[in-house]
Structure formats: structure tokens, C-alpha cells
A and B are shown apart, each in its own frame.
Chain A
Amino acid sequence: MAAHTRKRNLSFLVPTLYILFLLLPIYWLVNMSFKTNTEITGTFSLWPVNPTLRNYAVIFTDPAWYSGYINSIIYVVLNTVISVAVALPAAYAFSRYRFLGDKHLFFWLLTNRMAPPAVFALPFFQLYSAFGLIDTHIAVAIAHCLFNVPLAVWILEGFMSGVPKEIDETAYIDGYSFPRFFVKIFIPLIASGIGVAAFFCFMFSWVELLIARTLTTTDAKPIAATMTRTVSASGMDWGVLAAAGVLTIIPGALVIYFVRNYIAKGFALGRV
């Protein structure tokens, strides 16, 4: 029994140490965000000696700063809605039917998820310039569909394949039309799958910067790109940079909390 208890304690040590390792750099950023610049560069302390909210005040009072957050949220939400909306019928088709070229189409989708954004940055800029869409939220939202739609189709297809086909057939026998069946019966059945797909679209649109930055100049500029503003003539404004960084972590943390029970299955693309 004693040996058993000791083993238990040891096994708790591994994730604990790992989480400590994960939190340490984040803690340092939070720590810095509550310090003044003189304290950051002048002294070395493990916690803020003279805690200040000045850095956060700068962000919340300057429209150039806080509009970055609003822009990011707008295009991320737009992208999530568009991606899930077009992926739902497509995933249903892939999970229920065989059709001409279905396997090729599915493979082609996958290649888009794997395409390096660096390859697309310049052509995207030219394409969206031609349509007069540069510096709009919708441009970034559509561009991010490149990798989010394939991912959403993939995750949803995994979840949909877990729903027995008999349910569809019974509904048709009961006289349901396809749209009514899809909305009233099928969507509630895969609600958790939709949640997971939406989470992943949110996540990848939120963390992506290369394309978002290429397609925007001022009006739709994401927060992550705004952060480069902290380099000024008077040197680096480390405090504000840290505060801005901390604020980009918060939306992600909130979203994770809501999908915590499905997160592992979601990362396995619904295929465990």
C-alpha cells in the first residue's frame, strides 16, 4: 500500500512540473504588465514592487490600441460563423454519401489546411486588392477560411459519422423534409461537434497573424499587429507590450474553459 501511494504522488509530479513550465513565461509577462518601465529595466524583481495599472490604462484609453482587439474579434467571429455554416452541409455530404470525386475533393481540402500561409501572403494581397477588399474585416475572415473550412469539415465529418444513419432514415419515414430534419434533429445531435469545430476555427483565426497583417493596414488591423507599435523613439514600451500580450491571452482562456470537456476529442479531429 505504501508503495502504491508513493507512485501516485510521483505521477502527480509530472503534469505539475509541466504546468509550472508552461505558466512561468506567462507569469513573467503578467508580472511585467503591472510594472512601470523604469522598474522593468532598472531593477529585477519576481513580483511588481510598485504595482501600477498604467499600462492597461494606456490600452483602454487609446483607440489605436483597443480597436485592435475589436478588429480581431470581429474577423475571428465572422470567420467562425462562415466556416461552420459552409462546413455543415459539406461535412454531411461527406459523412453520408459517396459521390463523383469525393475522395479527391476531401484530399484537396486537406492540402489547403497544410498550405504554408507564407506561400499565400502575396497572392492574397493582390487578389483582395483587385476586389477592393484590403483593410476590411471580411477580407481576413474569408482568407482564414482557407485553413479553417477544411478543418471544420474534417472535425464535423468525424462527429457526424458517429451518428447512426438509421436516425436519418427514420426521420424521412416520419415525413421530415431534409432541411427540417437537418435543423430540428441532426444539428442538436452533433451540437458538441459544432462547438468543437467553432472552437478550432476561433483558435486558428485568433492565433494567425501573417495573413491578417498582410491584408490590413489601419481600419481592420489585428491586435497582434498593433503590438509592434510599442517600439518608439523613446525606446521600447515594455510595460504596454506586456499588458497587450496578457490581454490577447484572455479570450483564448475563456473559450478553452467552455469547451474543456471536448477539447481532447477535438484535437483528435473527432476521431478517437
Chain B
Amino acid sequence: MNKTWNNKAWFMVLPMLVLVAFSAVIPLMTVVNYSVQDTFGNNAFFWAGTDWFRQVLESDRFWAALGRNLLFSAIILTIEIPLGILIALNMPKKGIGVPVCLVLMALPLLIPWNVVGTIWQVFGRVDIGLLGYGLAALGINYNYVNNVFDAWATLIVMDVWHWTSLVVLLCYAGLVSIPEAYYQAAKIDGASRWAVFRYIQLPKMKRVLLIAFLLRFMDSFMIYTEPFVITGGGPGNSTTFLSIDLVKLAIGQFDLGPAAAMSLIYFLIILLLSWIFYTVMTSGDETA
């Protein structure tokens, strides 16, 4: 669509701008303030320069948490994206099955995140949970509280449970936009199931898959509530992701300087990712 150049449009954007600026810019400036100052209490601050940033970047704790974040995101993307595509391809195309599937699949997306954590915390317990009890009955020694592998496995299964539906819904939205004529043409040409997928369905899903990939990457990169409820970051520090570490540092230990510096570094990583996301999305707008 060709848009008219009109700077008066700013007036329409203004209410939104004021509101978001209040919620975003002021808090962010507070963080910037803390990140370059030190305090002895009593609101007496003095300039600390880049000390906090250096401290954070040189600490093993930060890099370990970042590494865990990246590993977690990599694992859940490898599982959720192909699984989501597989389910979307096999979704019913019409009839009563469609709304039933959509509503049931969207269900986990609307459960408060700490309740998701609680559900899995209970479900995985060996004494009262179906999963824990079942695994114990099969003779598998499963305990997410003190075994690192089990803790990770629980978090990954939980995330797959929680978010694969997002990928399914996005892929499904892409698939239903394919005109029936494409499939008929493929049938006449005697195209195999694989060829239909590779040359008709996959190209149509490219855009929504991109949204799914990036949304899942960014949201899993910010994960906080669920691991906090299920493992509390343990056993040891094995599931302490950046968000959890950050909240520990800022609210638990009240180390404002390092916490603020870490926040900014974290935010810059997210900013970079958003920029990639935005560039990819808008370049699609022009060609689509």
C-alpha cells in the first residue's frame, strides 16, 4: 500500500507514545543510572564508570547463565519447530475437528506461567505425580530436584508442552491460506507427498515459520517463571538462566550496580535479536 506522507499522524501516535515511554523509558533510565554508579547506602551515589560492566563480563557466572540460555533455546527449537510442522500438516482441514483441535491446543498458552510451573512440578513428583510415579514404576530413577539431567529434561518437556501449540497455530494459519487449486495441480502432475510439502506447503509456511522461530527463540531466551517454580534454578546452578540470575542479583542480594549492568547487556542482546527480527519481517512485507 502506498502511504501518504503526513506528519500530523504523530498526533495519533502520541497517546501510545506517552504511555509506553512512561513504562519503558523511565525504568530503563533508572537501570542506566544504577549501572554506572556505586553506593554506600543512604542514597549517596558516586560514579563507577564501566566497572560493573567489566565485572559482569568477566564473571563466569554470567557466561555460564548465558550458555545455559543458549543451550535451552537451541534444544527447544530443535524439538518444537519440526514437531509443530508435523502436527500442523496432520490437522483436520474442515469439520468439527478444526475448532476442537484449535481450542484444545491453545489451552496451554493461556495458563498463567507459574501455574504451568506448578502443573509440571506436581506432575513430575515421584510421590504424587503421574509422570514421576509412572517413571518410578518403570524402574527409572527420576528426580528433578537433585538430578541435573532430570531437571533439564523436565523443563524441556514442559516447554514443549507449553509452546509447541504456538508453532502449530502459526503453521496452520500458513497452510489454510494455500488455495485448493495448488493441491489439485500437484495431483495432476503426480507429485509425491514430499514434493507437495517441499514445493507448495513449505514455501507458504516460510513466513509464519520465521515468526514462530524468532518468537520462540526470544521468549525462551527470557524464560523465568517456569524454571523458578519447578527447580528454583537448581540443582546447584544447573537451571539458573539469565533472568533468574538477574532477579537473584537485583532483588535477592540487592546488588544494584552489577544487576543493572547485567540488565543492560541482556537488553542489548535482545535488541540485536529484535533488530534481526524486524529487518526480516519488514523485508517480507515488501516482497509479499
Contact = CB atoms under 8 A, between A and B. Distances in A.
A46 to B, nearest CB: 8
Contacts of B4: 96-98
B10 interface: yes
Interface string B254-288: 00100100010011001101110110011001000
Interface in B172-228: 172-174, 176-177, 207-208, 211, 218, 221-222, 224-225
Tell me the interface secondary structure of chain B in the complex: helix
A149 B211 contact: no
Given A26-B107, A96-B3, A87 B16 contact: yes
Contact of B174 (A15, A111, A122, A272): A272
Interface string B101-132: 11111111111111100111011000111110
B266 A253 contact: no
B253 to A, nearest CB: 12
Interface residues of B, number: 100
A121 B119 contact: no
Contact of A25 (B119, B128, B247, B274): B119
Given A115-B267, A118-B222, A142-B19, A248 B111 contact: yes
Interface string B22-40: 1110111011000000000
Contacts of A242: 122
Contact of B99 (A146, A238, A261): A261
B42 interface: no
Contact of A86 (B19, B101, B173): B19
A128 to B, nearest CB: 10
A260 B106 CA distance: 9
A82 B19 contact: yes
Contacts of A53: none
B81 interface: no
Interface residue tally on A, bucketed by range: 35 or more
B12 A93 contact: yes
Interface in B114-172: 114-115, 118-120, 122-123, 127-131, 133, 161, 164-166, 168-170, 172
A95 B4 CA distance: 10
B31 A119 contact: yes
A97 B27 CA distance: 30
Interface stretch (B46-54, B84-92, B232-240): B84-92
Nearest to B137: A44
Interface of A: 11-15, 18-19, 21-26, 28-29, 32, 40-41, 44, 46, 82, 86-87, 89-90, 92-100, 102-103, 105-107, 109-112, 114-124, 126-127, 142-143, 145-146, 149-150, 153, 161, 165, 203, 206-210, 214, 223-225, 227, 238, 241-242, 245, 248-249, 251-253, 255-257, 260-261, 263-265, 267-269, 271-272
7 contacts: A25-B161, A97-B6, A99-B7, A114-B274, A124-B27, A256-B103, A256-B107
